[in-house]
């Protein structure tokens, strides 16, 4: 086998990133854009010792789950990797990703994994957009990164973003070109504007704009603000985020509001939330309510329980839980998020929720030493999953139920393996599609003490 060779390949499976999998002379070949059940002519574009990567040149037999992508830059952009699949096929694929990880990493067989809860309308669902800004051949551009690179694909529209985000992006870029605001160069570290970040309230339509810049003095800023607020009247907040770092982190630690409010107000169900520029907040408000209501259902609260909500962010799950619990203790490492969580509790007249600032793996052992125990623990960790010290303390504390909200099936399977080895059992797993057209899937797991 050599690079640029072409082969007829039968696609018998798929990777968790959505690549088709076939074999040529017992060599595994990962085929971009192919779906299981298809037969293709594919060209080898990368050759490693034990596998190859190929690109489809021609379809001999197509899957009934195939469709034409709706985005004009789909093949170049790294945002949505599954647009070539029908939505039903995506949900089937995501269910298989969850079950495969449970079997392969966790060693679980026969665990109840419900069908993925999808969206009625999986378009324009994102309340947050992050546009990297750079210099293209014809001048400043803003869009999305190409897959596995920091090459910017210029894009003025996106089928999964809120239309308000697109209006902001296009208006800011008009101002950047007209006012000659220097855009950032990743290689040299020169320039000022790095990212345009938007947050949209689906409840009110209000928009927060975060301009990620390398310094506070932005030439033409006042004129940019006037243009933006005039042409996009939904903008109620404009914030400068200062990021002088030379790495891949989008947001810096320093924030300065230059127009309007410091926070954006949104609603999930009947609860109101104040969202600050650095706060974590789920990007799909419709499915977030589905996810959180399932977490509350799995918690099985009667009104007397003490609940720990770990990695609680701005208190979103905490406040859903507080309405049915005796007391909720939220733990979050970001100080600004803890401040917002307290504000959110007050705004919703919830008095039985308190929030601690610090890493969950440090705060929970301290609470345990003070004999503050949880009847129910809810965890919603980042992609890396739970820290081992936290899992150990949870097992020592012996809560009756653990509700695990996961955005990464592989670390979920790893952590479930630890918990089930320490006198806990899995009763039910409910995947929820928060990220249509991408390979990502959330899961809510009900775990009970044996």
Phi-psi label, residue 354: left if phi above 0, alpha if psi -120 to 50, beta otherwise: beta
Catalytic residue among 77, 158, 312, 407: 407
158 is a catalytic site residue: no
Following DSSP, what letter does each residue of 215-256 receive, concatenated? SS--TTHHHHHHHHHHH-TTEEEEEEEE---SSS----SEEE
Neighbours of 70 (CB within 10 A): 12
* Alpha-carbon dihedral angle through residues 405, 162, 64, 438, given to the nearest 10 degrees: -40
Evaluate the CA torsion angle 17, 18, 22, 24 in order and state its sign: negative
Exposure string (b/e) for 338-376, b if CB count within 10 Å is 16 or more?
bbbbbbbbeebebeebebbbeebbebbbebeeeeeebbb
| Inter-residue contact 157 to 166 (CB < 8 Å) | yes
Measured at the CA of 161, the angle between CA 223 and CA 199, to 5 degrees, comes to 55
Tell me how far apart the alpha carbons of residues 449 and 247 are, in angstroms, rounded to a whole number.
Answer: 43
| Tokens 């969580």 sit on residue | 341
SS3 annotation, 114-135: CCCECCCCCCCCECEEEEEEEE
Measured at the CA of 162, the angle between CA 157 and CA 163, to 5 degrees, comes to 55
User: Residues near 48 by Cβ (< 8 Å), separated by ≥ 6?
Assistant: none
Show the tokens assigned to 169.
């992006």
Show the tokens assigned to 2.
């050599």
Q: State the burial class of residue 403 (Cβ atoms within 10 Å of its Cβ: 0-12, 13-18, 19+).
A: buried
Known catalytic residues are 407
């Amino acid at each position: 086998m050599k690079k640029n060779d072409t082969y007829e390949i039968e696609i018998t499976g798929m990777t968790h990133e959505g690549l088709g999998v076939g074999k040529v002379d017992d060599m595994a070949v990962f085929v971009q854009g192919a779906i299981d059940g298809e037969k293709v002519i594919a060209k080898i574009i990368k050759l490693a010792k034990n596998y190859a990567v190929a690109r489809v040149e021609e379809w001999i037999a197509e899957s009934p789950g195939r469709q034409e992508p709706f985005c004009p830059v789909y093949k170049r952009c790294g945002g949505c990797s599954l647009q070539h699949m029908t939505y039903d096929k995506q949900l089937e694929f995501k269910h298989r990703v969850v079950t495969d990880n449970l079997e392969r990493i966790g060693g679980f067989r026969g665990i109840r994994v419900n069908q993925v809860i999808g969206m009625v309308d999986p378009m324009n669902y994102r309340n947050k957009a992050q546009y990297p800004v750079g210099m293209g051949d014809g001048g400043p551009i803003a869009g999305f990164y190409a897959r596995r690179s920091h090459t910017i694909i210029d894009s003025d529209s996106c089928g999964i973003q809120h239309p308000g985000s697109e209006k902001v992006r296009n208006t800011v870029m008009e101002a950047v070109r007209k006012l000659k605001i220097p855009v950032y160069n990743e290689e040299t570290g020169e320039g000022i504007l790095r990212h345009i970040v938007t947050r949209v309230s689906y409840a009110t339509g209000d928009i927060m704009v975060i301009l990620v810049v390398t310094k506070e003095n932005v030439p033409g800023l006042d004129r940019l603000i006037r243009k933006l607020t005039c042409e996009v009247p939904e903008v109620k907040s404009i914030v400068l985020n200062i990021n002088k770092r030379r790495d891949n982190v989008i947001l810096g630690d320093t924030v300065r509001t230059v127009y309007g409010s410091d926070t954006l107000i949104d609603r999930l169900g009947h609860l109101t939330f104040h969202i600050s520029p650095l706060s974590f907040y789920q990007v799909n408000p419709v499915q977030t309510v589905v996810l959180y209501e399932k977490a509350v259902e799995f918690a099985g609260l009667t009104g007397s329980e003490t609940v720990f909500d770990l990695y609680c962010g701005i208190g979103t799950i905490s406040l859903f839980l507080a309405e049915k619990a005796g007391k909720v203790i939220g733990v979050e490492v970001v100080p600004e998020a803890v401040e917002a969580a307290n504000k959110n509790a007050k705004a919703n007249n919830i008095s039985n929720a308190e929030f601690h600032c610090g890493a969950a793996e440090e705060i929970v052992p301290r609470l345990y030493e003070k004999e503050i125990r949880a009847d129910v623990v809810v965890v919603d960790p980042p992609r890396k999953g739970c820290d081992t010290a936290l899992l150990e303390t949870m097992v020592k504390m012996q809560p009756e139920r653990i509700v695990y909200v996961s955005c990464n099936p592989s670390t979920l399977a790893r952590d479930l393996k630890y918990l089930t080895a320490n006198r806990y059992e899995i009763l039910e797993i409910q995947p929820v599609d928060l990220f249509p057209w991408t390979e990502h899937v959330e899961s809510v797991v009900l775990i009970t003490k044996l």
